[in-house]
Amino acid sequence: MDFSFMTPPEVRFESGGAARIGQLVRDRMQRPVFVTDKGVINAGLVGEALDSLREAGLDVLLFDAVEADPPARVIRNAVALAKEHGADGVIGFGGGSSLDTAKLIAILIDSSQSLEDIYGVDNVRGGRAPLVLLPTTSGTGSEVTNISVVTSDDDRKVGIVASQLFADAAIVDAKLTLTAPRSVTAATGIDAMVHAIEAYTSRIKRNPVSSALAREALGLLANNLITACEEPGNLAAREALSIGATIAGQAFTNAPVAAVHAMAYPLGAIFHVPHGVSNALMLSPVLKFNAAVAGDLYAELGPLMGVAADANAFIGRMVELCEASGTPLRLQDVGVNHNDLPRMAEDASANERLMQNNPRPVTYEDALQLYSEVL
């Protein structure tokens, strides 16, 4: 078997690491742009990190205008401000949207390419500025992936995949997740589990390393998600989720995600549904659809979830976890109606980058039926 496995050169798991960020990055950059969003600011998470950077003598530009499913206009604005600052490095601090934005700023501040030029796979030319990423949620795994997702000017979620998007270092500090509300903990945790499941069943690039990481991630996530939802201050549970989400990210960046994500993307782009919620909504119908060809692999995951080695038992347990976590279960709950389904199905089925990884082909008619099942 021939395969490659790629990941950032340094991944540091350190509770309290954000408070030492100045010491950890000062040899990499002197005039960083610090990329985050207003929600992270309002949660009081950035103070220690910014103090640490300034105490280390760094001249920091704070960019806190990141939006969910980052629109292209926000990224272009951030790049312009970073250039004006003379930024020589980028620190991403937040959820997946902030980390994805930070990655793209690091690419574009020293590039002659436009954002649109790099849409798709392997279209980045040249290098990037130094890049360090700190997640404040346990979900996206963006801190260890070579992927950024953008909402284009015509409201499509567009993926950008390039080796230059791997950070120089990821600092995973579980203490940053202690204040995450239940809804965020639940949605991001389900998102991370979807990463693990889809990596484990990825059709084209499935490999032993990604599969091992996916299994370990799924066990950590499944056995700690509800505890973290019900006991938000439980650091041990938060650390387990943080590790699980990060290694699930390492798994799926090498064995890519598939139909759950492809069908979740229109929910984010059109209705601005949080990514984890979108994945949770589409997980059950896609698992049932795929079971005809991926049932044996799903069965292997059952014991990690505390159920029998049976595909139906595994799917049932995933549905139970979604219900127990409190994530929405119907598309109507997030503002979708029957008339929206054809456009969503068209967008999802056309996402070849993701659909090609699904264990079972998904046609437009299949996508329409899958959306209808959870309307």
Q: Give percent of the chain with pLDDT exceeding 90.
A: 97
Average pLDDT, the chain: 96
For position 157, what pLDDT does the model report? 86
For position 202, what pLDDT does the model report? 98
For position 269, what pLDDT does the model report? 87
Q: Which tens digit of pLDDT belongs to each residue from 184-196? A: 999 999 999 999 9
State the Cα–Cα distance between residues 25 and 7, nearest whole angstrom: 19
Mean pLDDT value of segment 51-60: 98
The boundaries of every CATH 3.40.50.1970 domain in the chain are 11-176
Q: Which tens digit of pLDDT belongs to each residue from 10-25? A: 999 999 999 999 999 9
Q: 11-176 maps to which CATH number?
A: 3.40.50.1970
Predicted TM-score of the model (pTM)? 0.95
Q: What is the DSSP string of 196-246?
A: HHHHHT-TTT--HHHHHHHHHHHHHHHTTHHHHHH-TT-HHHHHHHHHHHH
Residues 152-179 as b/e (b if ≥16 CB within 10 A, e otherwise) read eeeebbbbbbbebbbbbbbbbbbbbbee
Q: 181-373 maps to which CATH number?
A: 1.20.1090.10
Mean pLDDT value of segment 299-315: 97
For position 347, what pLDDT does the model report? 95
Q: Which tens digit of pLDDT belongs to each residue from 180-236? A: 999 999 999 999 999 999 999 999 999 999 999 999 999 999 999 999 999 999 999
Q: Which tens digit of pLDDT belongs to each residue from 89-111? A: 999 999 999 999 999 999 999 99
The boundaries of every CATH 1.20.1090.10 domain in the chain are 181-373
Mean pLDDT value of segment 39-54: 97
